[in-house]
């Protein structure tokens, strides 16, 4: 679950019972039971407020094939609130850009409804080679943005939106042979999907889950980014807190303010 926004607020159009981490599926003749998630009692374009100034909008996503819906993916949102995965080759000028906070790997083909963030402090799928304070732009990969120190020629600018921190860190204990980092006191800008590095952590390791650990502290479970959901074990024990760095792409903290696709970078 995301750490960028936790409890949802009760703004003018908010629904405090909504879960932004799950896609909504309206039951039909072919899927009579739906996803088991109650359909939001609202219409497309309904707005909901969240913590840290976050605002969500309800959009419609049609999947033609099984698709991994991952936290922080970028979508275009048209005037009818239809969602389309964003790429440099697939864009419409002045389209609104929103970011899914949903995590639903291997989602079956069908029509879904997603709460997507369009303002506030949110997690975004960011490619490697990004820099703190870099402005967001499109890439060739569907749903993945980049925030380089200088604009990339040919990419579409996503504005206003920028990367807050390219390498967030947190303090944790490691145990040799264990896939769980423990003793974590704070979760500053840490989220599921981040690639993490440390001498006691194998390469290509990703945060698979974040939960409460012993004594009220937090625990992070590690998985392989190259083979999702395969547990990754620490290679050494550190009985004192060490600094773990989230770097090299994955979900990173960004600040967005109702961004749109503007110009093509020269």
How confident is the model over 56-114, as pLDDT tens digits?
999 999 999 999 888 899 999 999 999 999 999 987 878 899 999 888 878 889 889 99
- Positions of E strands within 134-237: 135-138, 145-146, 156-163, 169-174, 180-184, 194-198, 201-212, 218-224
All residues at 6 or more sequence positions from 76 whose CB lies less than 8 Å from its CB, including other chains: 83, 84, 86, 90, 91, 92, 95, 96, 97, 261
- What are the structure tokens assigned to 264, written together? 């093509």
Mean pLDDT of the chain: 83
Residue 17 confidence class, pLDDT cut points 50, 70, 90:
low
Q: How far is CA 46 from CA 96, 98, 140, 247, in A?
A: 15, 14, 30, 34
How far does Cα 106 stand from its chain's mean position?
16
- Please name which of 115, 116, 117, 113 lies closest in space to residue 62, comparing C-alpha atoms: 113
Tokens 């981490």 label which residue?
A: 21
- Please name which of 132, 250, 109, 241 lies closest in space to residue 186, comparing C-alpha atoms: 241
pLDDT of residue 246: 82
pLDDT of residue 228: 65
């Amino acid at each position: 679950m995301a750490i960028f926004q936790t409890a949802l607020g009760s703004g003018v159009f908010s629904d405090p019972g909504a879960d932004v981490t799950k896609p909504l599926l309206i039951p039909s003749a072919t899927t009579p039971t739906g996803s088991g998630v109650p359909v939001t009692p609202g219409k497309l374009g309904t707005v909901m407020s969240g913590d840290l100034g976050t605002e969500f909008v309800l959009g419609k996503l049609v999947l033609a094939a099984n698709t991994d819906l991952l936290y922080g993916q970028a979508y275009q949102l048209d005037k009818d609130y239809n969602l389309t995965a964003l790429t440099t080759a697939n864009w419409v000028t002045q389209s609104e850009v929103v970011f899914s906070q949903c995590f639903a790997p291997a989602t079956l083909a069908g029509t879904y409804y997603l709460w997507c963030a369009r303002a506030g402090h949110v997690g975004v799928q960011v490619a490697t080679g990004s820099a703190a304070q870099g402005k967001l732009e499109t890439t060739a990969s569907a749903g993945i943005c980049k925030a380089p120190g200088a604009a990339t020629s040919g990419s579409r600018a996503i504005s206003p939106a920028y990367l807050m921190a390219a390498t967030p860190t947190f303090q944790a204990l490691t145990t040799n042979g264990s896939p769980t980092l423990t003793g974590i006191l704070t979760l500053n800008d840490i989220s599921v999907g981040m690639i993490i590095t440390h001498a006691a952590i194998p390469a290509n390791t990703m945060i698979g889950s974040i939960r409460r650990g012993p004594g009220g502290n937090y625990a992070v479970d590690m998985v392989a980014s190259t083979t999702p959901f395969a547990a990754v074990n620490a290679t050494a024990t550190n009985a004192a807190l060490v600094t773990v760095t989230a770097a090299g792409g994955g979900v990173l903290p960004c600040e967005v303010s109702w961004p749109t696709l503007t110009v093509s970078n020269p």
